[in-house]
A and B are shown apart, each in its own frame.
Chain A
Amino acid sequence: MKTICLFFQVHQPFRHRRYRFFDIGNDHYYYDDYSNEAIMSRVAAKSYLPANRLILELIEKTGGRFKVAFSLTGTALEQFELYAPEVIGSFRELAKTGSVEFLSETYSHSLSSLKDNETFKEQVARHDELIFGLFGQKPRVFRNTEMIYSDALGDQIAKMGFAAMLTEGARQVLGWKSPNFLYVNAINPRLKVLMRNFKLSDDLAFRFSNTNWSEYPLTAEKFLGWINKLNEKDELVNLFLSYEALGEWQKSENGIFDFLKAFALQADQHKKLQFATPSEVVAQLQPISAVSVPEPVSWADEERDLNPWLGNEMQKEAFNKLYELNGRMLRCNDKELIRDWNYLQASDHFNYMSTKHSSNGNVNRSGNPFDSPYEAFINYMNVLSDFKIRLNSVIPENQIENEIAMLHQIIEEKDARLKKLEADIARLQKPGKFKRPKSK
């Protein structure tokens, strides 16, 4: 028996307009409404709506045995509300079937997990609250931005109460091991890890309508044949895709929806195949071993690393300058500032600054609104400068607070030393030999 776990990422960023130096301090609206609306309307019409309709149909036809999972980012949901509210309605209908699971994720599709624990937790909480409000589900499984994962991050996720996490079945991590089993985190075995089968996932996401591909055209029979040909003992096939792959990257006229329909119905008829959501996978399957991921991986490009977002100096500078503000943002109550803070964190902004030459299999590169990474960087820093000025007027960069923070650090260091010394004392006072002086 093999379990097929289908997952889709749904994300749209709030793209910035050309924000010039002269706008700093004068104009606090940063967004390119026209292109945000145009892109959202197009993708909703070509991808989200027809795909949702089809999935609903398939769930009904299979009597609920066809199952999928989604992670919807907060910024995408906000854009649905603004530009395509019918998409939210169609996701609600999917939620009602009981065959659809909504995963946890960061609100802004942000990289906060790599920087600041508090901001990261805040982002996740904000997202999960929104999901609960809309779909009545409390997410139990976590999916990080762009499948970014490491041992330490997994441990953190376990501590936040999640049962499992999705990530890339990257070659540098798995080596000879197969992604087609359930794994656990190397530090905290309570957290299960689902590894993406990138070969089969990318066949659908990137190669499906490529006529130069040796396997073109890809039929449901052929694809199911590949799944059945996998090792007898393989238990799990994780197909994780961007939702735009259905209808936007792979066009409807090239047959992606027909493929999905045939695939779902045939797999449903197959005796040795079943669909399951990530939570069901965790409940049904036994983990086979721990997987060790000391360095963060992602699902991007060939290298599956962080280079598309934090590869060059500009990206690192923008990233550091943004998260310098996290302490003050956590204390901020201003609604507009919080909104902009969320939008500023979207990983897409950093991706626009990438100087990496890319082969195929790129994340979201097609939507880069800037002619050059340098332009993207200048624009972002101008926006960030204005944002900082506004933040300063609400919560000033206080000298005294800085000093307090420094003193706190000194106290903590001294505490640590005291503890160490106490431990030394305890070790030296071997039990039984001396009587402990009783404190009065």
Chain B
Amino acid sequence: MKVLMFGWEFPPHISGGLGTACYGLTRGLSELDDVEVTFVVPKAFGDEDQSRMKLIGANQVPVTKTQIQFEESEKQMDYFEVDSLIVPYMNEEEFWKVKSKKLPRKTRFVETDEGNRIEFSGTYGSNLIQEIKNYALVAGIIAEQNNFDLIHAHDWLAYPAGIAAKNISGKPLVVHVHATDFDRSGGSVNPTVYAIERDGMEQADQVITVSNLTRDTVINKYHIDPQKVVTVHNAVEPMSAEGSEIPKKGINEKIVTFLGRITLQKGPEYFIEAAKMVLQKMNNVRFVMAGSGDLQEQMIARVARLGIADRFHFTGFLKANDISYLFHMTDVFVMPSVSEPFGIVPLEAMQFNVPVIISNQSGVSEVLEHAIKIDFWDTHAMADSIYGILNYPSLSEHFKQEGKTEVDGLRWINSAKNVRKVYESVLT
């Protein structure tokens, strides 16, 4: 079966777990003989790994060329009607010219470059909603040009694209929920985002969620028919030992790491409070908060106020190599997420033989046995666990070994097989 997949980011150009998960899943699917994936992102940079799949950047698809094609083929005249309402233009002057022509009221104008292509930033910038709309527009054109059996859209940014492709092709749609706005916002949901999410889930033939935690959210908060919602847990791609030149650990001290976006969803403040408690008990330990995010400045100020800034370090956003390096140095990894649909990072840490502490409010806690699980708000338990792993070697040895074995068993191929079952269910 041929799958047309819509995502928002793809390695190496990622800002979080979504791109990593999409990559892992497509690789897993590529190992299945009967599945063929075409992956679409808003912006292709050209350096993505395309060995296992075809990657299309929506920024490379000309908008008008397709219209000519439409004219040639009688069959698709219906769609031509729809798409003729899109008028590409390149600059303000041209926009004024095309606008001053008489056009039907519903006509949409899109700004393009010389090749009549739409520009995408592929990021989460201020024009996000506009980009999503443009993405959906191009998705329709891509759906026209490609042959496929079903559509698979990852997260709300790509739902409109999936819906557009479904409307044009009439093929079944699977949406994959990696996170909902309830996770991202900590409760104060953005109505625009919620509407897009719910629309996507309702129009989908099947909904895949990354954990039972997220499945509950989809059923209870988005009121989707439970019959339609299936959980497929994420897995982890074995980290390659390439770029093996790992600099030596320069510090003869224990290191406790937080890695993730510094946002409300990830619970960075609980990590800081726990760090303060641990530092009152022991001295030869450093805490690292790796990542960036809107709470970063607040967190830095908090650390300064607690007077632990000489033992608490911020690294900013880290690239893949630096992440491996950091994990090599790390003695305990903590993920205190307030609301985490899945959370791949602890699995990556475990691959490096790092003991992990995760919150019960994370999807990954459903699949992990050999990890310490705490409630995100229970900073005492968190501090206690950190202290225990740092000071009782037998405990940390246990987690290192058992954790490694456990995580090596979590393969994307298994997730891919479960996804294929979902595909089969929508095709029959």
Does A pair with B? yes
In the assembled complex, the Cα of A381 lies from the Cα of B312 at a distance in Å of: 9
**Is there a chain B Cβ closer than 8 Å to A132's Cβ?**
no
In contact, B300 and A374 (Cβ under 8 angstroms): yes
Output the nearest chain B residue to A377 by Cβ-Cβ distance.
Answer: B300
Type the 1/0 row for A1-40, where 1 means its CB is closer than 8 Å to any CB of B.
0000000000000000000111111110000000000000
In contact, B309 and A22 (Cβ under 8 angstroms): no
Given contacts A24-B250, A25-B250, A26-B248, contact A384 B305 (CB under 8 A): no
In contact, B251 and A389 (Cβ under 8 angstroms): yes
CB distance from A23 to the nearest CB of B (A): 8
Residues of chain A with a CB closer than 8 A to B305's CB: 313, 317
Type the 1/0 row for A373-396, where 1 means its CB is closer than 8 Å to any CB of B.
010011001101100110000000
Given contacts A25-B249, A374-B297, A378-B300, contact A314 B315 (CB under 8 A): no
**Is there a chain A Cβ closer than 8 Å to B301's Cβ?**
yes
**Is there a chain B Cβ closer than 8 Å to A58's Cβ?**
no
**Is there a chain B Cβ closer than 8 Å to A237's Cβ?**
no
Output the nearest chain A residue to B298 by Cβ-Cβ distance.
Answer: A374
In the assembled complex, the Cα of A48 lies from the Cα of B286 at a distance in Å of: 44
Residues of chain B with a CB closer than 8 A to A374's CB: 296-297, 300
**Is there a chain A Cβ closer than 8 Å to B247's Cβ?**
yes
**Is there a chain B Cβ closer than 8 Å to A321's Cβ?**
yes
In contact, B300 and A314 (Cβ under 8 angstroms): yes
Given contacts A317-B304, A317-B305, A374-B297, contact A381 B250 (CB under 8 A): no
How many A residues have CB within 8 A of the partner chain? 26
In contact, B301 and A313 (Cβ under 8 angstroms): yes
Type the 1/0 row for B307-334, where 1 means its CB is closer than 8 Å to any CB of A.
1011101111000001001100000000
**Is there a chain A Cβ closer than 8 Å to B416's Cβ?**
no
Given contacts A321-B310, A381-B310, A388-B310, contact A21 B315 (CB under 8 A): yes
**Is there a chain A Cβ closer than 8 Å to B288's Cβ?**
yes
**Is there a chain B Cβ closer than 8 Å to A241's Cβ?**
no
> DSSP class of A's interface residues: helix, strand, loop or mixed?
helix
In contact, B250 and A26 (Cβ under 8 angstroms): yes
In contact, B297 and A22 (Cβ under 8 angstroms): no
Given contacts A21-B315, A378-B300, contact A314 B309 (CB under 8 A): yes
**Is there a chain B Cβ closer than 8 Å to A318's Cβ?**
yes
In contact, A317 and B250 (Cβ under 8 angstroms): no
**Is there a chain B Cβ closer than 8 Å to A320's Cβ?**
yes
Select one of B251, B297, B316 contacting A24, CB under 8 A.
B251
In contact, B315 and A20 (Cβ under 8 angstroms): yes
Given contacts A21-B288, A26-B247, A314-B301, contact A385 B310 (CB under 8 A): yes
Type the 1/0 row for A100-117, where 1 means its CB is closer than 8 Å to any CB of B.
000000000000000000
Scan residues 225-245 of chain A and give those whose CB is less than 8 A from a CB of chain B: none
| Residue of B250, B297, B304 most packed against chain A (CB within 10 A) | B304
Scan residues 191-206 of chain B and give those whose CB is less than 8 A from a CB of chain A: none
Residues of chain A with a CB closer than 8 A to B252's CB: 25
Q: Interface of A with B (CB < 8 Å)?
A: 20-27, 312-314, 316-318, 320-321, 372, 374, 377-378, 381-382, 384-385, 388-389
Could you give 15 example pairs across A and B, Cβ below 8 Å? A23-B250, A24-B250, A25-B249, A26-B247, A26-B248, A312-B304, A314-B300, A314-B304, A314-B309, A316-B304, A318-B304, A318-B309, A321-B309, A378-B300, A385-B286
Q: Which 9 A-B pairs have the closest CB atoms?
A: A25-B250, A26-B250, A317-B304, A25-B251, A313-B304, A314-B304, A21-B313, A313-B305, A321-B310
